[in-house]
């Protein structure tokens, strides 16, 4: 697994083998992308990254479309270099005439993973656990905290934009 924000020891403690981005791209048969968009990674997966992947590898985009160069992703799928699946797009809702809709080798889905009943329950449980900690004068442990060092890097569009 590649994560530039987590120390290797945290990955290892959770049973994950740390790897470089290059190793993940070149050695994976399935690549899941669950990254938030930051000022450093907007569009960071592009033509070169897709060309370095194993031919026929599966690229699954589950977080934010802005972490990839979406045109380069479609080109890599169109050429047969990789297959892909995504539940996020550069514009949502996806326009009816968007070329990805007819792209063979590209599975499309609506962005709904976070809207599952089980996800809502888990999020609620995490919030309640953190609230209990804060009621006792302790810092939250389950939910992400808005840390000064990371907030300035995050890039989200207001809901009204998409």
Q: Of residues 54, 98, 108, 111, which has the active-site annotation? A: 111
Q: Of residues 54, 92, 98, 108, which has the active-site annotation? A: 92
Instruction: Confirm whether 148 is a catalytic residue.
Output: no
Residues 44 and 81 occupy one common structural domain? yes
Q: What is the pLDDT of residues 66-96, one digit of tens each?
A: 999 999 999 999 999 999 999 999 988 889 9
Instruction: Confirm whether 98 is a catalytic residue.
Output: no
Q: What is the pLDDT of residues 106-142, one digit of tens each?
A: 999 887 666 678 878 888 899 999 999 999 999 888 8
Residues 107 and 117 occupy one common structural domain? no
Instruction: Read off the pLDDT of each residue in 32-53 and give the average, rounded to a whole number.
Output: 91
φ and ψ at residue 82, rounded to 5 degrees: -140, 170
The domain in which residue 74 lies consists of 1-111
Residues 103 and 123 occupy one common structural domain? no
Residues 52 and 132 occupy one common structural domain? no
CA distances from 74 to 40, 52, 100 (A): 22, 15, 7
Single residue among 71, 94, 111 that ends a domain in this structure? 111
Residues 117 and 98 occupy one common structural domain? no
Q: Are 99 and 74 in contact (CB under 8 A)?
A: yes
Residues 86 and 127 occupy one common structural domain? no
Instruction: Confirm whether 129 is a catalytic residue.
Output: no
Residues 135 and 87 occupy one common structural domain? no
Looking up residue 5, the CATH number of its domain turns out to be 3.40.50.720
CA distances from 20 to 48, 62, 83 (A): 16, 20, 22
Residues 118 and 134 occupy one common structural domain? yes
Q: Determine the 3-state secondary structure of 121 from DSSP.
A: helix
pTM of this prediction? Answer: 0.76
* Domain total in the chain: 2
């Amino acid at each position: 697994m590649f994560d530039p924000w987590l120390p290797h020891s945290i990955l290892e403690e959770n049973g994950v083998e740390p790897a470089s981005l290059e190793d993940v791209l070149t050695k994976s048969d399935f690549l899941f992308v669950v990254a938030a968009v930051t000022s450093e990674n907007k569009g960071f997966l592009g033509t070169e990254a897709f060309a370095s992947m194993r031919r026929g590898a599966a690229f699954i985009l589950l977080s934010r479309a802005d972490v990839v160069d979406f045109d380069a992703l479609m080109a890599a799928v169109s050429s047969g270099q990789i297959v892909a699946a995504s539940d996020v797009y550069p514009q949502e809702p996806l326009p009816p005439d968007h070329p990805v809709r007819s792209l063979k080798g590209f599975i499309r889905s609506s962005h709904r993973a976070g809207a599952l009943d089980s996800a809502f329950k888990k999020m609620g449980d995490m919030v309640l656990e953190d609230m209990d900690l804060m009621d006792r004068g302790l810092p939250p442990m389950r939910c992400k905290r808005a840390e000064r060092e990371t907030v300035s890097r995050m890039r989200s569009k207001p809901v009204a934009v998409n």
